[in-house]
Chain A
Amino acid sequence: MTTSTLTDRYVSAVVRGVPDRQRADLEQELRASLADDIDARVEGGAEAKTAEREAIVELGDPIVLAARYAGRPLHLVGPELYADWRRLLTVLEFIIVPIVVATLVIVGAVKGDTFGGIVGGAVWTGLSVGVHLAFWVTVTFVLIERSPSMAAKKLMIWTPDMLPETAAQRTSRTEFIVETVLAALFLTAFVLSPFVSPFTDAAGAVVPLFDPWIWQSGILIVLVLVPLLQVGAGALKLRGHWTMPYAVAATLIDVAGAIAIIVLGATDHLLNPAFFDAAGWPQSVIGVTNIVVIVVGALAIATSAWENIRSVRRA
């Protein structure tokens, strides 16, 4: 046989997908079955070429047929493992990505990188880490799915204790009120700070509590916008209009705010040393405050994503 027929090509495509030791036997059987089918179609009046084509079309995609012969699953992760896969992936993504992003921001800020450089680098690396996590976790589950001995072992046995909390309206309302009051205090402090202070310098100008760099650099816009948006998000959450797009947007807002205060702390631009001199307060307080602010910012990033997404379920 010099030219390969459609049957040759089909049979070889199917047997390629089954273990070696079954191939010869399967090939012979499949050829006989196809030949029988073609003969029956020709007897029924079909043309030989058409009969062959139709018989093959009926057997369908060789990848599917080979998988059925080999008893391989036709899915990447099946119903047995799906819940484990999803639970593990969610937990890892929401723990590891924020930690990586926060670490990069802190390291970048300490090294004195530019604001854009820090944010760009953190976002890019955060995305890469997220994609890598999803890919490797999935690959692992695909392999487990294909090794019967491992697939038999459940990774986690689900129990009712693992159910998330339901909507506790009272808690949410208290949360919202506290959030709003804090945001109002925060905004008032920042906006009034350049104009109101108990101290003035030799020239009679006001000595603000916060570092004047906050106004000069324009980071003030972030510090004002973020709390306002957070209050808005809190109101939406409380009214139950909370969906995944909102959760993602709210997380980004929280992260932007957290990054801003981390930058302030890390670059020593939060408090004004002149104010401390005038007030006679120890300068060491500034350093301690910087560290506290960095830690709070990092924690805020880590918890924000988790909190916002969880609220989608509660809503």
Chain B
Amino acid sequence: MIRFDNVSKTYPKQSRPALRDVSLEVEKGEFVFLVGSSGSGKSTFLRLLLREERASHGMVHVLGKDLARLSNWKVPQMRRQLGTVFQDFRLLPNKTVGENVAFAQEVIGKSRGEIRKSVPQVLDLVGLGGKEDRMPGELSGGEQQRVAIARAFVNRPMLLIADEPTGNLDPQTSVGIMKLLDRINRTGTTVVMATHDQQIVDQMRKRVIELEGGRLVRDQSRGVYGYQH
């Protein structure tokens, strides 16, 4: 599903690499936490997965494709097989919940009939059945994140990438979001989630990858947030 071979990334005009010689593999259906302090390279890792950046050295394979050799015009095609969720939800404020989810299908050219069928279905899945016509501003943070997850999942991606999805939410709400992500994982979708939330990582007991200063310092199945806290 994901394979990094000796991947380094140095941003232009910066001497210190954001990622140094990272090698790892994530299998289909895994749930992986990506932890590390700010500036450890988590974001760069995710940006490489989304092909927002290219690796300076080494090879990145996502969904069986070598991203270095993927031509620019094929990138959208690849991103359609990925779902993404962010800390700040990234919903369109002037579109309803239903329209926000439908947007992900409209831009890739799904037919109207298909959209009409799949949007309520996926909203039901995330626990927002019947809230299609609400505006994002009327919803709580947790609900907005559920909309974002619905949008990420509506095209049934193989891989879901979540960048601190619970970063703006209280612990109670976070648990609900994690349950939802776990459920999505159980449908066979691989989930990679960057997080600072110690409690969640410790509770879920999933694989943990830790970055520090751009290096991979820990890769542990059924891990916890840190060794000692």
A is bound by B: no
